[in-house]
Structure 1
Amino acid sequence: MNRSQINSQAQPPLGLSIRNVSKRYANGVQALTNVSLTIPPGMYGLLGPNGAGKSTLMRTLATLQEPDTGQLLLGGIDVVHQKEAVRQTLGYLPQEFGVYPNARAEELLDYFAVLKGLTNRAVRRATTEALLRQTNLWDKRRQKLGGYSGGMRQRFGVAVALLGNPQLLIVDEPTAGLDPAERVRFLNLLSELGENSVVILSTHIVADVAELCTTMAIINQGRILLEAQPPAAVAALQGHVWRQLIDKHTLPALEREHQIISAKLLSGRTLIHVYSPDRPGPGFEPVEPDLEDVYFSALTGCVGRARQPLEREEVGP
């Protein structure tokens, strides 16, 4: 039995609406400020640097804390006031989660299934087998979790999160620290899950969003800078991104003259990307923009002219 068979009676995926959500912690840190997002079924990327407010928003959606103000609706369910209803249809893989190192994967997943309310032994056995096969852990089901690699533990965490057929699946920084092969396996797994649920991928890794997500938002310092479909966001920068390979000591002067999106080392020199509607000067050549250019142009506040067309194009009335 596979997960699609287990889900044969599942309801269509629910959309998620977040309106004017703010959160300030007791230490005075303003983690979220008037965050509003519309998240449809499928893979949704929440992209931002460490400390941007991503985990705060994910914990709020997972009913682990309440916002100071604002409203969160999963379909017709009020996330703040109907926590138990949300938890019945929620799967959550936090950035860090613990496992019992001496427990075997099959046994521990069975235990979590009981906690999730799967009391029928035959159904529970079929469910755990389907999830372990889906996460490519069936051959390692009798291995102790203490011997799992980082990627295997992440996939086991997804198996736990999928118990109960969640309509909302939240994964927080899931590929951080994974080797390239494990990252590919994990991303392939997430792409399959996005076909049946709302899957929110919270990450600072641009490539994860570029490869997986049909819609995304960029967040920094607790504020949403951009909400868009990645291809449309990239297309809006077409013809406005230029590059030049420079000596590092000239960077400060160029920063004063141009709107620099990003700068990185390349063969001992510095490669800069600049936002400009026209060629910014001699030595610059046009470059095809990518999602990394979108990301850094949003983070640097690189001209409201760059951001506003993206927002107008992608945000509905």
Structure 2
Amino acid sequence: MENQHVGLTIRKVSKRYANGVQALHNVSLDIAPGMFGLLGPNGAGKSTLMRTLATLQEPDEGQLLLGDLDVVNQKEAVRQTLGYLPQEFGVYPKASAEELLDYFAVLKGITNRAVRKETTAALLRQTNLWDKRKQKLGSFSGGMKQRFGVAVALLGNPRLLIVDEPTAGLDPAERVRFLNLLSELGENSVVILSTHIVEDVAELCTNMAIINQGQILLEAQPLEAVASLQGRIWRKLTDKRALPALEQEHRVISAKLLSGRTLVHVYSPDRPGIGFEPAEPNLQDVYFSAMTGCFSPVSPQPKAEGVAL
């Protein structure tokens, strides 16, 4: 199937599990072709939304459309144009990368042997695994397994590629290689990167949403969201013992150790007091501002000037 510039529409999707956990609550998003980051802590509802989009479970209510395909009611058609790299996936350790990718290509419906050989070779080169194609998957590093997972997910030229927590557990060099690979994929397809790592989204995604406790806290373009915090983030180096008092007086969005002291970031439209200096905002400040309620919930496709603070 030729890739079309098709977006993803999510409207008022909710999901409650049998144990009473409300994993998604009234989630609405508009996701255009390109790299989209879904950012949130563990347990925020990211994987539930990814599994729902991947047709592995159904929402209790709401609608999900990939172009004109209904994700809930046209599962088989969606699966034909879907690539999914779950958070954890198994490989056959005694199979080579070349053998297993060929096997998955058959399952994907690529039955012509010559076409299959050409397709698998191209994907192994694209994921920088060509030199390792004869190697057993059981000997692959974490980063190599993730790249093999992308090769499998890319079979059939998908219009929607879902990548769930892909860089967790990768060493810095493998993470960079993996992110470089992902950055090349988002030209025609919708690529959703679900992660709790802010840097992954900052480096890759043109659009993003922040989710927590099953609800979308913010939907924006990362650069616009960062720009909207200009002049509102202040920093102060303090002792850890002073932190509770600062939290009483100010809207502390983050605190981290720096050279044995505590570096505090505070959200405030005006200078919050003595000892504070202006901080150049970044996406981490956007994330913590949203998580602590400094960004109010917004409707889909906000403009930077319309983001409630």
Percent identical across equivalent pairs?
80
Task: State the shift of 1:302 in Å.
Answer: 2.3
Alignment of 1:161-200 (within 5 A): 161-200=153-192
Q: Please name the residue that 1:5 is paired with.
A: none
User: Is the Cα contact below 8 Å between 1:234 and 1:291 reproduced in 2?
Assistant: yes
Unaligned runs of 5+ in 1: 1-8
Structure 2 unaligned regions, length at least 5? none
Per the alignment, residue 270 of structure 1 pairs with 262
Other structure's SS at 1:193 match: coil
- Residue number among 87, 105, 115 corresponding to 1:113 in the alignment: 105
**Amino acid paired to 2:154:** L
Give, in angstroms, the shift of residue 191 of structure 1.
Answer: 0.5
**Conserved in 1, the CA contact under 8 Å of 2:234 and 2:276?**
yes
Superimposed CA distance per residue, residues 21-63 of structure 1 (whole angstroms, 9 cap, x where no aligned partner): 0000001000000000000000000000000000000000000
**Which residue identity does 2:114 align to in structure 1?**
A
Q: Deviations over 1:251-279 (max 9, x none)?
A: 00110100011000001110000000000
Q: 1:269 to 1:109 in 2, by over 3 A?
A: same
Counterpart secondary structure, 2:303: helix
**CA apart distance, 1:310:** 10
Structure 1 residue aligned with 2:77: 85
Does residue 251 of structure 2 align to residue 259 of structure 1?
Answer: yes
- Distance of 1:197 and 1:37 partners within structure 2: 16
Match in the other structure for 1:11: 3
TM-score by length of 1: 0.94
- In 1, Cα distance between equivalents of 2:4 and 2:28: 23
Report the Cα offset of residue 10 of structure 1. Answer: 1.3
Q: Is residue 2:90 matched to residue 1:98? A: yes
- Which residue type is aligned with residue 119 of structure 1? T
* Contact 1:22 1:67 (8 Å CA) reproduced: yes
- How far does the alpha carbon of each residue in 1:128-183 deviate from its partner, in whole angstroms, 9 at most, with x for none? 00000000000000000000000000000000000011000000000000011110
Aligned to 1:74: 66
* Structure 1 runs, 4 residues or longer, greater than 6 Å off: none
The alpha carbon displacement at 1:218 in A equals 0.1
- Asked if 1:51 corresponds to 2:43, the answer is yes
Aligned-partner Cα distance in 1 for 2:153–2:299: 37
Between the aligned partners of 1:300 and 1:92, the Cα distance in structure 2 is: 31
Distance 1:187 1:220 in 2: 24
Q: Which residue of 2 aligns with 1:221?
A: 213
* Code of the aligned partner of 1:36: S
AA aligned to 1:237 is L
1:313 aligns with 2:273: no
**Residue 24 of structure 1 is aligned with which of 16, 26, 46?**
16
Secondary structure of the structure 1 residue equivalent to 2:124: helix
User: Once the 2 structures are TM-superposed, how far is the Cα of residue 308 of structure 1 from its aligned partner?
Assistant: 5.8
Q: Is the 8 A contact 2:6 2:190 kept in 1?
A: yes
Distance 2:102 2:92 in 1: 13
Letter in 1 for 2:281: P
Shift in CA distance, 200/136, structure 1 to aligned 2, threshold 3 Å? same
**Partner SS state of residue 173, structure 2:** helix
Rate the CA distance shift 1:152–1:88 in 2: closer, same or farther, 3 A. same
What does residue 54 of structure 2 align with? 62
Count of equivalent residues? 306
Q: Is the 8 A contact 2:17 2:23 kept in 1?
A: yes
Distance 1:207 1:62, change over 3 A: same
The answer to whether the 8 Å contact 1:226/1:311 transfers is no
In 1, are the aligned partners of 2:219 and 2:302 still within 8 Å (CA)? no
Q: CA RMSD in A?
A: 1.6
Contact between 1:232 and 1:310, CA under 8 Å: does it hold in 2? no
The CA distance in 2 between the partners of 1:185 and 1:210, in whole Å, is 16
SS at match of 2:28: strand
Distance 1:256 1:105 in 2: 56
Q: Confirm or deny: 8 A CA contact 1:52 1:221 kept in the other structure.
A: yes
Q: Closer, same or farther in 2 for the Cα pair 1:71/1:94, shift >3 Å?
A: same
CA shift, 1:196, in A, is 2.4
